[in-house]
Structure 1
Amino acid sequence: MRIEKTTAGTPHRIVIVGGGAGGLELATRLGRKFGSGGRVEVTLVDSKRTHVWKPKLHEIAAGSMDIGDHEVPYLAQAHWHGFRFRIGQMIGLDRSRREIHVAPFVDEDGKEVTPARSFPYDTLVIAVGSLSNDFGTPGVREHALKLETVADARRFHVRMVNACVRAHAQRSPLRPGQLHVAIIGAGATGVELAAELHHTTREVVAYGLDRVDAEKDVRLTLIEAAPRVLPALPERLSRSTERLLRKLGVEVNTDARVAEVLPDGVRLADGRVLPAELVVWAAGVKAPDFLTRLDGLETNRINQLVVRQTLQSSVDDDIFAMGDCAACPWPEKDGFVPPRAQAAHQQASHLYTQLQRRLAGKPVQDYRYRDFGSLVSLGEFSTVGNMMGGLARGDLFIEGWFARLMYASLYKMHELALHGWVKVTLDTLARMITRRTEPHVKLH
């Protein structure tokens, strides 16, 4: 295994593992701050070449977003903002030598691009996000699609378009379950995917697939084990969302536990079988399994790294964790910070300040999560949500155009953190222009 080292006695080495929303924002801001000074060396390590904001995956899956307009190449971002990017998946940690171990990177043909390597650090930040948790449910790995990566979203979209084309071309009547999509899990991802698919499947069919009746043939089913959709959000928001989904024609099944995913549908615990050509698993989250094998770092039952209020590992002051992979205390709720994009954004901002204090020899301060509420996009139909904080006592329930504006602003805040006002403004104008000359849904 090759070890990449810097010159002895030179820069303080900050290594950030994971280029998601929080990790890339932190690397970008630290790179801008220290990239030209030589006192600090910032390295971002990720197993992919490009970044896409994870809350956008349902739009990629539905085909309503052109991925090419929103991908951020890590190499270019690193070049422009003063940090280094190294490709590869972290697989191990040596705390005594202060090194992370990265697996070889291979291309789609199985050829090795980079060898196994080790990267030394003085400060390590782990921000590898989360994965779906199938809870060991039979058939999920074999027959269900997940939305964990851009590749997953693309795979679902291609299968969805192929299903529509196949149904149009066949001479025989549709078989039971054909053009049915079952989405397991009615959290934000499942709900947003269902609403987005209601719009985009009709767009796809409208491009000449006239033998498919979208209103009659395309069927969307949400399956949730909890008593209501969006179980982690306020009940009023949940009720409103369910009404809107049913108005769209989405079949909503709550208090419905999945016993098995079949090749052509879903079997529930009560014995019912819901036929479906496509099944998406969007229920539950956990951190990647490799975190449980990192040289004694403490993890919880869903593999999250246990951190103190400072975001430092419970057993090592030189290691921080943030985002979905961190179990960070939330004293005000006597629980843990929820796995949301707003938490990752806040933690990136917090660590940007605290790592500067650490470099100056000052103690790092505690992180406090501020819950600004939740927003759920129902595609072209509506957006609903609740806002918290200084706007009102308790929750302020919002929907319609104002909620949609607030939802869009979350992504703009992320883009601004990465690119600044000039690039974001130009990119936004370019997307508005090209959208007028291209299909509103991806057809391949």
Structure 2
Amino acid sequence: MHRIVIVGGGAGGLELATRLGDRLGKLERAQVTLVDRWPAHVWKPLLHEVATGSLDTSTHQITYAAHAHWHHFGFVQGEMTGLNRSNREVSVAAVLDNDGTEITPARNIPYDTLVLALGSRTHFFGVPGAQEHAITLDTLEQAELLRKRLLQACLKKRSFTGDVKDEAVNVAIIGAGATGVELAAGLRRMEDTFRQFGLLSSENGHEMRISLLEAGARVLPALPEKVSAATHGSLTDLGISISVSDPVNCVTANAVETKSGHLVPADVTIWAAGIKAPDVLASLDGLATNRINQLKVLKTLQSETDENIFALGDCASCAWTDSRMVPPRAQAAHQQAMFLFKALIARIGGRAPGSFSYKDYGSLISLGSATAVGSLSGRARSGNIFVQGLVARLMYAALYRKHLIAVSGLRQMAIAAIAHGLRRFATPRVKLH
């Protein structure tokens, strides 16, 4: 059978593997294999909710092995380390436990068609101290680490009786894109819950001093100015300090220094500024990549170098217009997965894969449990439609439900939603341990 190997089980990779497994794997028309370094999937746009404790990962994880069984594809755990294009093999590293003991050995996985969906990693832009002292939100493990670090910082500053021990907990968030903005708003909810359950004092005022630092001229620089202005106002109302047009110069263990010389104290520093594709892509067997390691692809999403290799999502550099590239968003990965599902079926059948065309449907930003802000794509004459408040929040929640339907089906999504809703009645709104 034709061997399709998909490396990366993010939003696009998992959806593509699921669709191909249900269509081709089930009928034994192709052998579909998903490779990922982690054993389970969590939708990356939700990692800021994991970090603020408002998302229970046990009810939102999709275990790759079980999902593969149910949807007729194979799963191999391990990190991609190399590629042999002559033999058409992907090299996967050994899986080790916490003590360094080998669980599964390194191996080579043969393919006829390879799809790279490796996602993205944090780009530190060479800022001194950033990688050593700042926490990122690339993986579930990093989000859990940040949540625990925030909880520990609060406990150090306040006793359980509410007696003041020191000043407020200082949190510096570098980067005011979607992740930084949503994280800043989520921290206020985290603080309120800590106070409710006695982990912070009950005095008035904020005990988390949150600073949001952006090198650009405004928050959410990639979104329309109206969305940016509304978001800026909402964050200010939440007591969040915002600094723009002042890039970070260096990061230390307890402070962030900006180019202007401003020193921002930080008990916890979070880096949410910029992305790049994994470094392994730049080292692969002669494949063309750009300056941030993204694989250069044609309109067919095939590599410019090798017609047997495709790429999608954040790790792909794909032209949108003459002057713009497809942005690294979940909606782009979803659209590319849908395109490749049809394109790979056509390829196996000996037909041309066609050309990918990206459609921007707008963006939504969560600003807490009950509100959101964003813009939706309207008709050509009317332009984008601005949305805000509860309606925007409901639409934001629907994006995740749409992702679950794409990978698990309507029935499983409905069951998961009901189970999650019932669980919230018996547990705190934020995880407290």
Q: Find 1:180's aligned residue among 163, 167, 170.
A: 170
The aligned residue for residue 158 of structure 2 is 168
Match of 1:400 among 373, 389, 395: 389
Instruction: Please give the root-mean-square deviation of Cα atoms over the aligned residues, in Å.
Output: 1.5
Q: CA deviation at 1:399?
A: 0.7
**Inter-partner Cα distance in structure 2 for 1:272 and 1:319:** 47
For 2:309 and 2:263, the matched residues in 1 are separated by 47
> Contact (CA 8 Å) 1:164, 1:205: kept in 2 or not?
no
| Partner amino acid, structure 1, of 2:25 | G
Please identify runs of 4+ aligned residues in structure 1 that moved more than 3 A: 170-176, 210-214, 389-392
Q: Which moved more, 1:232-241 or 1:159-168?
A: 159-168
Which amino acid is the alignment partner of residue 12 of structure 1?
A: H
Pairing partner for 1:351 from 340, 355, 358? 340
Q: Look up the match of 1:385.
A: 374
Query: Deviation per CA, 1:239-293, whole angstroms, max 9, x where unpaired?
Result: 1100010011000000111111111110111111110100000000100011001
Q: 1:306 aligns with which of 255, 280, 296?
A: 296
1:334 deviates by 2.0
Superposed displacement of residue 390, structure 1: 4.0
Tell me, in whole angstroms, the C-alpha distance in 1 between the residues paired with 2:396 and 2:379.
Answer: 18
Secondary structure of residue in 2 paired with 1:348: helix
Encode CA deviations 1:296-339: one digit per residue, 9 max, x unaligned.
000000000000011000011100000000001112x6211000
Counterpart secondary structure, 1:142: helix
Query: Which residue pairs with 2:85 in the alignment?
Result: 95
Q: Are 2:227 and 1:237 aligned? A: yes
**2:143 matched to 1:153?**
yes
Q: Following the alignment from structure 1 to structure 2, what is the Cα–Cα distance between the partners of residues 173 and 265?
A: 22
Q: Residues 210 and 37 (structure 1 numbering): CA distance in 2 closer, same or farther, change over 3 Å?
A: closer
Residue among 347, 351, 355 paired with 1:366: 355
Helix, strand or coil for the counterpart of 1:14?
strand
2:324 alignment partner, one of 335, 357, 366: 335
Q: Aligned partners of 2:152, 2:336: CA distance in 1, in Å? A: 41
Query: Which piece of structure 1 moves more, 157-166 or 240-249?
Result: 157-166
Partner Cα distance (1:36, 1:257) in 2: 52
CA distance in 2, matches of 1:439, 1:172: 23
Amino acid in structure 1 at the alignment position of 2:98: E
Give 1:35 shift: 1.9
Q: How far does residue 165 in structure 1 lie from its aligned partner after superposition? A: 1.6
Q: Is the 8 A contact 1:190 1:222 kept in 2?
A: yes
Distance 2:381 2:45 in 1: 26
Question: Greater CA deviation, 42-51 or 392-401?
Answer: 392-401
Asked whether the 8 Å contact 1:127–1:322 carries over to 2, the reply is: yes
- Partner residue of 2:252? 262
CA contact (8 A) 1:99 1:121 kept: yes
Q: Name the structure 2 match of 1:419.
A: 408
Secondary structure of the residue aligned to 1:60 is helix
Instruction: Name the structure 2 match of 1:28.
Output: 18
- Please give the alpha-carbon distance, in whole angstroms, between the structure 2 residues aligned to 1:70 and 1:350: 26
The answer (yes or no) to whether the contact 2:32–2:73 under 8 Å persists in 1 is yes
SS in 2 for 1:335: coil
Offset of residue 39 of structure 1: 2.2
Contact 2:50/2:143 (8 A) holds in 1:
yes
Structure-to-structure mapping, 1:118-137, within 5 angstroms: 118-137=108-127
Change (3 A) 1:214 1:90: farther
In structure 2, how many angstroms separate the alpha carbons of the residues matched to 1:175 and 1:138? 29
Contact (CA 8 Å) 1:201, 1:214: kept in 2 or not? no
2:107 maps to: 117
Deviation at 1:202, TM superposition (A): 1.4
Partner secondary structure for residue 82 of structure 2: strand
The unaligned stretches of length 5 or more in structure 2 are none
Which whole-Å deviations, capped at 9, do the CAs of 1:174-200 have from their partners, x for residues lacking one? 556x51110000000000000011111
TM superposition shift of 1:214: 6.7
Question: Which amino acid in 2 is paired with 1:338?
Answer: P
Residue in 1 that maps onto 2:188: 198
> How many equivalent pairs are there?
432
Contact 2:26 2:71 (C-alpha < 8 Å) held by counterparts? no
CA distance in 1, matches of 2:295, 2:202: 48
SS of the counterpart of 1:329? Answer: coil
Measured in 1, the distance between the counterparts of 2:220 and 2:200 equals 35
